[in-house]
Amino acid sequence: MGKRMLEVFFCNVGDGDAALLTEHRDAAPDYTVLVDTGRPCVDPREGSLRKDAVDYLLDRNVDHLDRMILTHPHIDHVGGALSILREIPVKRIEMLTVPPPDALRVPCSRTSSVKPYNSLRQILNVLREISQTARERGTEVAESVSGEQQLTETLRMTTYLPRPEVARRQKEVCGALYRGETVDEALCVRVAKERNLSSLMLSFAYAGLNVLITGDRYAWDWEAESIPPCHILKVPHHGDSKAMTEPLIRKLGPWFAVISCENDPIARKERPCEETVAMLHRHVPLVICTENRDMPSLKARTCNGIRFDIAPDGTVEWSEE
């Protein structure tokens, strides 16, 4: 079988998410999964090491992706997909709601100034272009399904879908818009505001350890669900006040908590939230951010990304790059 290792790399894409999982065999990449792709263009900032997800892949000599999984339709999670598809072969791309091959472009409203109403329409066009580009390049475009999949002999992925009613509303509304049908504005706004709640969550099991990637699903929405403990946790929603609750972090019991965030303040948003970080520190041995502003519990710092190497015996080594 050869010597194996799982590398988990959380890219610094600023205010966004991109996580690359690579199973190595005999020191060579054997299976690659990218979960989320950051923004279309990550603005450089003085003192920051952030960059586009595609640049991370090229810098790390990734010559293909076996899977690209988009957790939910927000631009900071799906925006970098087009650049990646144009540069690197991707075997399969997965998402909750797949634009059909004959999906129409969704026009923005000329009469409504409600931001969520039009932001939903804009992101649907982004997903439409991603799907069309993927199909043109021979990539399989598939709807995510719930449950376990054995990716390799030693790597298993479990997909957790959002609550059925959230998934149903998203699929119905997005499907109708792609068909050119008129959809009630209030329903569109509801689906737009539920996009974080519609996040896929993914657990990767390797060598007896679990890596849980949560998209942006608010903690209160899934703390009662039967999701097993994990060892490495990608904290939802950039560590803001909705990201985690004390009962949930106690139940998950991770060794490491990773927050994908940026060190520039964002208007009307606290990412990460000082109270959330303090809560994590009470229950998690190590809390790490891709970037961070100076706060009482975390010093200002930046890195290219955070890397975990998991050996077949379950040993974990981590580093900042």
On average, the pLDDT of the chain sits at 94
Distances (CA, A) of 307 to 8, 232, 276, 317: 6, 11, 22, 8
3-state secondary structure of 298: strand
4-36 tens-digit pLDDT: 899 999 999 999 999 999 999 886 678 999 999
Tokens of 186: 């209030």
**pLDDT exceeds 60 at position 38:** yes
139-154 tens-digit pLDDT: 999 999 999 999 999 9
Tokens of 280: 């994590």
pLDDT band at 2 (very low <50, low <70, confident <90, very high): low
Domains of the chain: 4-96+144-162+199-320 (3.60.15.10)
User: What is the DSSP pairing of strand 305-310 with strand 140-143?
Assistant: unpaired
Q: E strands along 12-96, which residues?
A: 19-25, 28-35, 67-69, 92-95
Q: Which helix (H) or strand (E) holds 294?
A: none
DSSP annotation of 90: B
At a CB cut-off of 8 Å and minimum separation 6, what does 249 contact? Answer: 257, 279, 280, 283, 284
Side-chain-facing half-sphere of 69: CA atoms under 13 Å: 27
277-294 tens-digit pLDDT: 999 999 999 999 999 888
243-288 tens-digit pLDDT: 999 999 999 999 999 999 988 777 778 889 999 999 999 999 999 9
Rg (CA), the chain: 19
* Of the candidates 253, 248, 218, 262, the residue with the CA atom closest to the CA atom of residue 232: 253
* Of the candidates 4, 136, 121, 105, the residue with the CA atom closest to the CA atom of residue 73: 121
**pLDDT exceeds 90 at position 116:** no
For residues 152 and 31, the answer to whether their CB atoms sit within 8 Å is: yes
Q: Name the amino acid, one letter, at 165.
A: E
Whole-prediction pTM? 0.96
**pLDDT exceeds 70 at position 84:** yes
